[in-house]
Amino acid sequence: MASTKAAPSPGSPEFAGRLLSAIGTDPRIRSLGRVELRSMEKVSRNTIIYRCRAGPTRLVAKVQLTKPARVVEAEFEILRDMGRRLGGSRVRALKPIALFPELGVLLTEEEDGISLREILEVACREPRDGWERAESALDQSAEALRAFHDAYGADDPDRASVVRQYLDFSPKNLLIQEESRAPGRGRVVLMDPPEEEVWGERTDDVGGFCFDVTRIGFLPRFVLSWPVRGRIDRLKARFISAYFGDLGDQKSAVLGAVKDAEGRRAMQALGWYARPWRYPSVAKETARLCYLGPLTAAYRLGGIHRSHSNVRRMLDRARAHEAMP
């Protein structure tokens, strides 16, 4: 009876060897030059990345730890489609190079840039040094989400608010490529695109983004800081204003929908935290549940109302200031 050999575990030397062999035997990649693995990094509880090089071209091999091969294949296809639809704008997606479904690996070109999450954390910690940069990055990020929504919007003009959802349009999934000679005119690179097709209101993605900004305030160094809470509300107000512009008579309806969407995102996060056995490190995920679970639940039950009242006041003040002669 033939024995079946278990697939090597991502992160192991055996897996690195199989990955290098797969990349090196792909004729499109081999034509770029000598292939080598440079480093490995676990970037989230779901994902390991291997930084590679093929000749002068820098590559990133993304390995999904908890998602099936069909999800990796779907991400490859949507990245290719986004490349076609968003080409030529100041917004672009990662460029997919190859797919190795048997390993659960998606290979893309490596991009330079700084994570929006990092920019926002600096602004919360040191607003004097980082606030202007954060506002510019938020404006560009709002433009990026609008570009995605417009590219994947409904064909019916009467349903202009209904679009394909990005689903995880989060600061950690946005790379900001700054232009030193023209601040605010850089590019945004979209990462971790939607693997499934879900349609909804534009406010759904905006609310999801707002909750992921809120979660910056859950970091241990920020969690007890009232000034940081106010700064986070300002960041959310800036993003909402940059995405929607002057809301006019629709302000109450739009802000209410964004708040509801943020609440749903919070409940979704609670669902993720409540299933630590789904991830490789159960102990670490249990600790995450014990820390982030109560903070998220408290925000969903009460903090979200305070935050959005504050956001509304900030938007009202900004509009009144713009109306002054």
* Contact assessment for residue 88 and residue 78, using Cβ atoms and an 8 Å cutoff: no
pTM score = 0.91
Q: What is the pLDDT of residues 39-83, one digit of tens each?
A: 999 888 889 999 999 999 999 999 988 888 888 999 999 999 999
Mean pLDDT over 306-311 rounds to 97
Q: What is the dihedral of CA 55, 192, 176, 53, to 10 degrees?
A: -10
As a whole number, the mean pLDDT across the chain is 90
**Tokens 């600790």 -> residue:** 287
49 forms beta bridges with 41, 62
Least confident of 28-42, 45-59, 156-170: 156-170
Q: How far is CA 293 from CA 43, 92, 282, in A?
A: 21, 34, 15
According to the model, what pLDDT value does residue 5 have? Answer: 57
Structural domains in the chain plus CATH codes: 37-109 (3.30.200.20), 114-323 (3.90.1200)
Residue 12 has pLDDT above 50, yes or no: yes
CA angle 26, 30, 32 (to 5 degrees): 135
Mean pLDDT over 244-251 rounds to 87
Q: What is the pLDDT of residues 83-131, one digit of tens each?
A: 999 976 789 999 999 999 889 999 999 999 999 999 999 999 999 889 9
Q: What is the pLDDT of residues 134-147, one digit of tens each?
A: 999 999 999 999 99
Residue 280 has pLDDT above 80, yes or no: no
Which alpha helices (DSSP H) does 60-126 contain, by range?
Answer: 69-86, 116-125
Sign of torsion over alpha carbons 15, 17, 19, 22: negative
Distance of CA 42 to the CA centre of its chain: 16
Which amino acid is residue 28, in one-letter code? R
Residue 244 has pLDDT above 60, yes or no: yes
According to the model, what pLDDT value does residue 6 have? Answer: 63
**Tokens 């534009």 -> residue:** 202
What share of the chain has pLDDT > 70, as a percent? 92
How many angstroms separate the first and last alpha carbons of the chain?
A: 86
According to the model, what pLDDT value does residue 87 have? Answer: 75
61 forms beta bridges with 50, 107
Q: How far is CA 180 from CA 16, 109, 185, 186, 323, in A?
A: 37, 23, 9, 8, 32
Mean pLDDT over 170-177 rounds to 96
What are the residues whose beta carbons fall under 8 Å from the beta carbon of 301, sequence distance 6 or more? none
Mean pLDDT over 186-205 rounds to 94
Residue 4 has pLDDT above 60, yes or no: no
